[in-house]
Amino acid sequence: MVNSEITVGLLLGGASAERAVSKHSAEGVLKALNTLGYKVKLIDPAYGNNQPMNESEYFAECDCFPISSSNYVDIINSNYLDDVDIIFNALHGTWGEDGKVQALLEFKNIPYTGSGILASAASMDKHITKSIIKHSGVNTPDWILVKKNTFRFDEVKSIIDEKYSFPLVVKPNDQGSAIGLSICNTPLELEKGISFAFQFSQNVLVEQYIGGFEVTVGIIDNHVLPIIEIKPKHSFYDYECKYTSGMSEYEVPAKFPKKVCELLQSQALLAYNSVGCQNYGRIDFRMDKEYNPFCLEINTLPGLTSTSLLPKAAKADGISFEELIDKIIKNSFVYL
């Protein structure tokens, strides 16, 4: 089947804290899909049956209609997707990467890009991800899970005093884009960091901070891409550094010793496969000054904006942005 015979439903926006990031990803994907000759149908599931009439309204900063995760069911159960051959999932965060929308699409028997239900759900939950990959032999920073409904700071501090040392990383267990993340150097900062992270999730990860290098490894259909070293202008790779042009520098391919790169790539592929990911993804690491890698998380729907990391890694491997998007779609049909 040629591209012009395929209608791609581009899923964007959504109801998560990463709604704006999703729209930015979708802008690049839409341009690539048009260049590649696909028919495209835009779908913002957070609007439900109230889909905008004009393309520009999908990307507007102000919402056209009230948004809600409950609207996903309405639009996916409607006839709106009847002419769609495959969904390109450009959503990020909850109700996009966590297996929920994947389940709805499978109930409708609609193919989609990215990983399946189980891998998506496991990868979105950082505690589960780290548990699985550690069992599979992937190194990851030590951590504890703090639950909001049973949280007592004195109990957390007691565990920290016994097993950990500052600085510590505090982040929501099921968010991306560094949303709700803090680097804590004192008990007071730790308490504030946990309270801040609870604004975004019912469960919070307290993780040992790894000083050294920030690196990431992209994967397309089990092909491991060149490693990227990230050099943020801030003390860590926060939301602004991720999505503001000029706020980070990127070394791709990273200039680490060959054996270090091979270890990083093998650890990335092991983490990816141990959780059951497919199609494409990106694995984030910290690496200490002795070049020991520590896997932080798995991104099953990594960003596809102009500053995003997966397209940078693909370009270093000789894959243009349009070719990357085409590969993602073509590979998705293989998993049917």
CA 325 to chain centre: 16
Tell me which of 48, 180, 218, 303 is the catalytic residue: 303
How far apart are the C-alpha atoms of 172 and 146, rounded to whole Å?
10
What does the H/E/C string look like for the chain? CCHHHCEEEEECCCCCCCHHHHHHHHHHHHHHHHHHCCEEEEECHHHCCCCCCCHHHHCCCCCCCCCCCCHHHHHHHCCCCCCCCEEEECCCCCCCCCCHHHHHHHHCCCCECCCCHHHHHHHHCHHHHHHHHHHCCCCCCCEEEEEHHHCCHHHHHHHHHHHCCCCEEEEECCCCCCCCCEEECCHHHHHHHHHHHCCCCCEEEEEECCCCEEEEEEEECCEEEEEEEEEECCCCCCHHHHHCCCCEEEECCCCCCHHHHHHHHHHHHHHHHHHCCCCEEEEEEEECCCCCEEEEEEECCCCCCCCCHHHHHHHHCCCCHHHHHHHHHHHHHHCC
**What pTM, to 2 d.p., does this model score?**
0.92
Tell me which of 209, 243, 272, 280 is the catalytic residue: 243
Q: Residue 335 domain-assigned?
A: no
CA distances to 99, 126, 264 from 122, in Å: 8, 8, 21
Q: What is the per-residue pLDDT for 120?
A: 97
Q: Which domain holds residue 203?
A: 143-208
How far apart are the C-alpha atoms of 57 and 333, rounded to whole Å?
30
Q: Does the annotation mark 282 as catalytic?
A: yes
Render pLDDT for 40-89 as a digit per residue (tens, 0 to 9). Answer: 999 999 999 999 999 999 999 999 999 999 999 999 999 999 999 999 99
Q: Do 225 and 321 belong to one domain? A: yes
Q: What is the per-residue pLDDT for 282?
A: 97
Tell me which of 22, 123, 182, 299 is the catalytic residue: 299
Tell me which of 48, 284, 308, 326 is the catalytic residue: 284
Q: Does the annotation mark 19 as catalytic?
A: no
Q: Do 88 and 49 belong to one domain? A: yes
Amino acid identity for residue 4 in this structure: S
Q: Do 49 and 178 belong to one domain? A: no
Q: What is the per-residue pLDDT for 179?
A: 81
CA distances to 3, 17, 158, 173, 195 from 128, in Å: 38, 21, 23, 9, 22
Q: By mean pLDDT, which of 22-26, 88-92, 177-181, 290-294 is the weakest? A: 177-181
Q: By mean pLDDT, which of 92-106, 181-195, 237-251, 320-334 is the weakest? A: 237-251
Q: Do 131 and 235 belong to one domain? A: yes
Q: What is the per-residue pLDDT for 300?
A: 96
Q: Residue 255 domain-assigned?
A: yes
Q: Does the annotation mark 18 as catalytic?
A: yes
Q: Using the predicted structure, report yes or no on whether residue 241 has a pLDDT greater than 70.
A: no
Q: Using the predicted structure, report yes or no on whether residue 5 has a pLDDT greater than 80.
A: yes
Tell me which of 89, 115, 177, 308 is the catalytic residue: 177
CATH code of 162's domain = 3.30.1490.20
The mean pLDDT value of the chain amounts to: 93
Please tell me the total count of domains within the chain.
3
* Confidence class for position 333, pLDDT limits 50, 70, 90: confident
Tell me which of 282, 308, 326, 332 is the catalytic residue: 282
Render pLDDT for 252-302 as a digit per residue (tens, 0 to 9). Answer: 999 999 999 999 999 999 999 999 999 999 999 999 999 999 999 999 999
Q: Residue 333 domain-assigned?
A: no
Q: Using the predicted structure, report yes or no on whether residue 131 has a pLDDT greater than 90.
A: yes
CATH code of 29's domain = 3.40.50.20
Q: Using the predicted structure, report yes or no on whether residue 113 has a pLDDT greater than 70.
A: yes
Where is the domain boundary, 208, 226, 247? 208
Report the pLDDT averaged over residues 28-47: 97
Q: What is the per-residue pLDDT for 115?
A: 96
Q: Do 135 and 253 belong to one domain? A: yes
Q: Do 77 and 162 belong to one domain? A: no
How far apart are the C-alpha atoms of 315 and 323, rounded to whole Å?
10
Tell me which of 16, 18, 28, 281 is the catalytic residue: 18
Q: Do 82 and 19 belong to one domain? A: yes
Tell me which of 97, 98, 125, 297 is the catalytic residue: 297
* Of the candidates 93, 13, 86, 79, the residue with the CA atom closest to the CA atom of residue 47: 13
Q: Do 152 and 86 belong to one domain? A: no
Q: What is the per-residue pLDDT for 219?
A: 98
Q: Does the annotation mark 284 as catalytic?
A: yes
Report the pLDDT averaged over residues 167-193: 90
CATH code of 271's domain = 3.30.470.20
